[in-house]
Structure 1
Amino acid sequence: MTLPARTLALGTQAPAVPAASRCLPLLLLLLFMLSACAKVGPDFSAPDTAMPTGWQDAAVLGATATREVSEEWWRTFDDATLNGLLAEARGGNLSLQVTALRVLEARARLGVAVGNLYPQRQQATGGLTWTHPSDRTPTAPQPGTGRGNPDYVQTSVGLDAAWELDFWGKYRRGVEAADADLRAAAADYEAAMVAVTANVAQSYVLYRTLQQQLAIADNNVAIQRESLRIATARFNYGATSERDMRQALSLLRDTEASIPSLAHSLREARNALCVLLGKPPQDLAAMLGTAPIPTAPAGLALGIPADLLRRRPDVRKAEYAAAGQCARLGVAKADFYPSISLGGFVGFTASNVGAFSTGDTFSHGFTAYGGPGLTLPLFNYGRIANNVRAQDARFQQALTAYRETVLSALRETEDGIDRYLNAQGRAALLTESAADAARSLELAMVQYQEGSTDFTTVLTAARDLSTRQDALAQASGEISQSLVAVFKALGGGWRTLPENGPIPLETQREMRARTDWGALPEEHGAVPAGGDVRPPDI
């Protein structure tokens, strides 16, 4: 059929499009643009904290004190056994693995928060419903009309979606909070690394100190046995009384009695090392061997106090905790404002009512609906306002906790430096005292054998020597212990990650067998880097 020329000239009338339908795309575009800009709540900035310009004992420590702290500070002890223990502990310590797994948890929670930026509900639906309608509903036929109210079956299949637009930044603040939580978890892992490194070093120093104390006790037992032999011989020859022999025997038994206690403390130190290495308590004597107490060279590099803000993981963790709580305050404030959402359904539906058939579902049953929606909170009886107040109070708590963490870091460092310097002074004095006590015992033994003094002089000199040598061993260990405490307070040692990654391969395989984890530690960048943050590669 050919249309008349007039019809072709005038054209055909297109169906009328409602004005609201023409404006809807522009309205949606405007909503998207506004939702990308608006964001209620405060933006976080790191709180200012007054920091001293230098350490109190910087003049005593000398020019080397301001040098940057070595990340592998334990190598200053030049002890291969200690280096091996630390390498094993970083890969096997269970508390360290727990904190690494918390990073994975925080990473997954960040993924949940990011997912909320997109349509929150996207689902395929379908159903087959049998309905027996009531005879007394408003739409039911009235009695006596002769109309029936039959049962019917209805089918439905389609796609349902709903998207609450992030108009006020509620979900973006949620992403900020989750991101801060992830960074805090990474900082917690680094803090655990610092703690494990220091604990292994201190346990190792304690083990060597106890070894030296045991060696001193064994040496004193040998000396005192010789004194007993001399006192017994002089008694047998009638040159002295039985009292000298009994005093020598009493001193020997006292020294021998101290050995089981030292041996028990040595076992405890060894068991502590086993747990730090992720092993059940066992005999590590073959691996540890016998060696002197580790000592570090003179000259202590401390950096400056301001370095603590970027180097100590617990300080950064406190900062991230405050940042996360600041974002949660914005999430709470967003509840004051209306919620704007888009929703819709596209699918097919049909029933077997009358001449209809469920077989027509896909041929004649197409249906669709959608549009924007708005929800505005009106009467909530103070719930939203008080939740905002609670979140703001938590934010202020986090800021105050950050400042307290910084002060604690400064105090721990200053205490460690003072303890280190005092231990050095005490050890120097005890070195001279032990040398004098050894010479005093030597002279007393000669004089006793010559008969120019009684055994009380020998007894006193032997006790003095045992006490001073034991105190010297403890002071030597105290120097190394306090030095480790200084490095721990400075936050050193978290940049060196385990050789095979934070999470053992066996654990990774076990987790993959249960869950699809996607990228695990072998793929870097699981923790976002930013600023001075260097997160673990997990």
Structure 2
Amino acid sequence: MKSFSNLRSILDLRLGHTLAMVALLSGCSLAPTYSKPDVGLAPAAFKEDISTREMAPGEIGQWKIAAPSEDMRRGEWWKVFADSTLNEYEQIALDANQNLKAAAARLKQSRGIQQAADAAFFPDVDGGVGAKRQQFSGASQFDSDDKNGPAQTLWRAQLGASYEPDLFGRVSDTAEAAKAETQQSEAIFRSVQLAVQADVAQNYFMLRQLDSESAVMADTVSLREQQVTFLQRRFDEGDISELDVVRARSLLAIARSDEMSVQRRRATYEHKLAVLLDKAPSTFAMSPKPLEEVAIRIPGGLPSSLLERRPDIAAAERQMAAANARIGVARAAYFPSLSLTGAAGFESASLSNLFQWSTRTFLLGPLNGTALSIPIFDGGKRDGNLANARAVYEEDSAKYKQQVLVAFREVEDRLADLRIIEQQTQTQNAAISASSRAAELSREQYDNGMVAYLDVIDSDRTLLQTRLSGVKLSGARAASTVNLIRALGGGWDEIPETAGMKKL
């Protein structure tokens, strides 16, 4: 009995050492230490960004720094345009857009995968009740070959448990990778959301631009009709030749054709907007309304803050973090893995006494195989997996830095667009004023017989072109403003203050 007691003490001591070692190694990650990468590419300021003090005196009264209302929640950037119809459409799109719903479903999938990965920190417990009937051969019972053992039915009810300690961080690194991928899906969802919001705004402003073009074309058609009527009367009175009447009729037909071209384009954009709002194009119609001037300036802020606001940059960074954790999983494959299993329950030859205390049974350790598995040889499989994990991280790192460069370029492009459009606006307004005066003078001189009708045609054509160019410039300003907000990540309250510039 004494020797048995000593043996038991030794076993208890070794078991304690084993459990202590398991506890020590649990959660010991082999992944490289990860920190958000220092891109080293962020400039001190955007080259194309200009503050209010750099604006010309005539521009200050026409442009204002965008400042959201106090009740605006983060991300509701479209409210700076103060357009109730646009606000309504944006809310409809957020609630009903199918691309946004698909992105939300993908986010739910990622969260489900993360939940499954986190479950590996806990033991699996299952239970069952069943019966089996068996008969042993005589040979298996060390009896004669022609003698069979008795047939018997065995009833069993038991609970089983299995658990894998997190040796060398395999479980924790897998869970960390799943968490980073979920965060990546969240960033992708925000990116899709921003894209939908921007698409709605761009299509809306394009429709308003086409309404303004249609109004210009309608004025042109009306003017051409008046000219045809006037010239026909003068021709009937013998004051002019038929050539002027024919030319006027030709210009009227061209103006009507151009007006229908604008209507055709408007119908196309209206259908696009309907789909963004999850509506069938046949059931959606937007009332015509000319585009109002978008006279707000969106500061670019600091380039470093762009890395925090852009959801696509956040998604690229989280993808890189997941790849870093996968390196730890690949490294853990070189080390032993431990599986703790056990079962306890009741086992009886009769169902009537299955749950009696005398029928209890238990099993500690694996039913088949071994508890501790040590890798010895796999033909280079683990080496390949580790090399692949490292290469994936390098690829994701390069993609992240490229995404940052693209973001800087997009902001610079949009700032340049708006800066040049500001300069074009004043020039175009002067051109419209001059063309309008020239058209008036040419008509007066033609009425007095001082110039030919070709001069009137040329002046009217120039006026039409300058008015249409002005309308398109206003539409380009609205679209570029939306594109800049998209390039900045759509946020407002995270743009830091800079000198001479209000905070968004």
**TM bucket normalised to smaller:** 0.7 to 0.9
Q: Distance in 2 between matches of 1:134 and 1:235?
A: 123
- Listed one character per residue, the Cα deviations across residues 446-490 of structure 1 (whole Å, up to 9, x for unaligned) are 111111111111111121111111111101110111111111100
Could you tell me which residue of structure 1 aligns to residue 303 of structure 2?
Answer: 305
Secondary structure, counterpart of 1:58 in structure 2:
coil
- Indicate yes or no: 2:99 matched with 1:95: yes
- Indicate yes or no: 2:47 matched with 1:45: no
Deviation at 1:13, TM superposition (A): 9.1
1:135-146 alignment runs, 5 A limit: 137-139=139-141, 141-143=143-145
Structure 2: 5+ residue stretches without partners: 56-62, 69-74, 495-504
Q: Distance in 2 between matches of 1:93 and 1:294?
A: 28
Q: Distance in 2 between matches of 1:303 and 1:185?
A: 26
- Indicate yes or no: 2:54 matched with 1:54: no
User: Which amino acid in the other structure matches residue 292 of structure 1?
Assistant: L
Deviation at 1:495, TM superposition (A): 8.6
Give yes or no for contact 2:220–2:255 (8 Å, CA) kept in 1: yes
Q: Distance in 2 between matches of 1:366 and 1:88?
A: 63
Query: Which region of structure 1 is more displaced relative to structure 2, 200-209 or 275-284?
Result: 275-284
1:316-327 alignment runs, 5 A limit: 316-327=314-325
Could you tell me which residue of structure 1 aligns to residue 126 of structure 2?
Answer: 123
User: Which amino acid in the other structure matches residue 242 of structure 1?
Assistant: E
1:473-492 alignment runs, 5 A limit: 473-492=471-490
- Listed one character per residue, the Cα deviations across residues 4-33 of structure 1 (whole Å, up to 9, x for unaligned) are xxxxxxxx9998472354226523540442
Give yes or no for contact 1:293–1:477 (8 Å, CA) kept in 2: no
Cα 1:63–1:180, aligned 2, differ >3 Å: closer, same or farther? farther
- Listed one character per residue, the Cα deviations across residues 343-369 of structure 1 (whole Å, up to 9, x for unaligned) are 112122234xxxxx6655444332222
Structure 1: 5+ residue stretches without partners: 1-11, 352-356, 497-538
- Indicate yes or no: 2:89 matched with 1:85: yes
Could you tell me which residue of structure 2 aligns to residue 532 of structure 1?
Answer: none
Give yes or no for contact 2:32–2:324 (8 Å, CA) kept in 1: yes
Could you tell me which residue of structure 2 aligns to residue 27 of structure 1?
Answer: 17
Cα 1:14–1:289, aligned 2, differ >3 Å: closer, same or farther? farther
Give yes or no for contact 1:160–1:346 (8 Å, CA) kept in 2: yes
- Indicate yes or no: 2:176 matched with 1:176: yes
1:335-350 alignment runs, 5 A limit: 335-350=333-348
The alignment's TM-score, normalised by the length of structure 2, stands at 0.87
Q: Distance in 2 between matches of 1:284 and 1:238?
A: 52
Cα 1:229–1:196, aligned 2, differ >3 Å: closer, same or farther? same
Could you tell me which residue of structure 1 aligns to residue 58 of structure 2?
Answer: none
Deviation at 1:387, TM superposition (A): 1.0
Q: Distance in 2 between matches of 1:33 and 1:462?
A: 88
Q: Distance in 1 between matches of 2:34 and 2:15?
A: 35
Aligned partner of 1:367 among 361, 385, 397: 361
Give yes or no for contact 1:205–1:294 (8 Å, CA) kept in 2: no
Could you tell me which residue of structure 2 aligns to residue 290 of structure 1?
Answer: 289
Give the superposed CA RMSD: 2.7
- Listed one character per residue, the Cα deviations across residues 24-57 of structure 1 (whole Å, up to 9, x for unaligned) are 6523540442133521121221111120000112
Cα 1:283–1:464, aligned 2, differ >3 Å: closer, same or farther? farther
1:259-270 alignment runs, 5 A limit: 259-270=259-270
Q: Distance in 2 between matches of 1:322 and 1:401?
A: 9
1:516-527 alignment runs, 5 A limit: none
Deviation at 1:105, TM superposition (A): 1.9
Cα 1:439–1:477, aligned 2, differ >3 Å: closer, same or farther? same
Give yes or no for contact 1:44–1:326 (8 Å, CA) kept in 2: yes
Secondary structure, counterpart of 1:153 in structure 2:
strand
User: Which amino acid in the other structure matches residue 360 of structure 2?
Assistant: F
Could you tell me which residue of structure 1 aligns to residue 167 of structure 2?
Answer: 167
Deviation at 1:309, TM superposition (A): 0.7
User: Which amino acid in the other structure matches residue 44 of structure 2?
Assistant: T
Aligned partner of 1:426 among 406, 411, 424: 424
Secondary structure, counterpart of 1:116 in structure 2:
helix
User: Which amino acid in the other structure matches residue 47 of structure 1?
Assistant: P
Q: Distance in 1 between matches of 2:90 and 2:353?
A: 73
Secondary structure, counterpart of 1:451 in structure 2:
coil
Deviation at 1:193, TM superposition (A): 2.0
Cα 1:69–1:378, aligned 2, differ >3 Å: closer, same or farther? farther
- Indicate yes or no: 2:399 matched with 1:409: no
Q: Distance in 1 between matches of 2:407 and 2:11?
A: 63
Secondary structure, counterpart of 2:240 in structure 1:
coil
Q: Distance in 1 between matches of 2:305 and 2:54?
A: 17
Secondary structure, counterpart of 1:247 in structure 2:
helix
The alignment's TM-score, normalised by the length of structure 1, stands at 0.82
Q: Distance in 2 between matches of 1:15 and 1:159?
A: 31
- Indicate yes or no: 2:235 matched with 1:235: yes
Q: Distance in 2 between matches of 1:109 and 1:428?
A: 56
Aligned positions, number: 473
Give yes or no for contact 2:136–2:148 (8 Å, CA) kept in 1: no
Q: Distance in 1 between matches of 2:171 and 2:219?
A: 71
Could you tell me which residue of structure 2 aligns to residue 226 of structure 1?
Answer: 226
User: Which amino acid in the other structure matches residue 180 of structure 1?
Assistant: A
Aligned partner of 2:135 among 115, 132, 145: 132
Cα 1:68–1:261, aligned 2, differ >3 Å: closer, same or farther? closer
User: Which amino acid in the other structure matches residue 264 of structure 1?
Assistant: R
Deviation at 1:100, TM superposition (A): 2.0
Q: Distance in 2 between matches of 1:428 and 1:271?
A: 34
Could you tell me which residue of structure 2 aligns to residue 215 of structure 1?
Answer: 215
User: Which amino acid in the other structure matches residue 43 of structure 2?
Assistant: P
Give yes or no for contact 2:446–2:456 (8 Å, CA) kept in 1: yes
Give yes or no for contact 1:190–1:494 (8 Å, CA) kept in 2: no
- Indicate yes or no: 2:112 matched with 1:108: yes
Give yes or no for contact 1:61–1:300 (8 Å, CA) kept in 2: no
Secondary structure, counterpart of 2:347 in structure 1:
strand
Give yes or no for contact 2:100–2:193 (8 Å, CA) kept in 1: yes
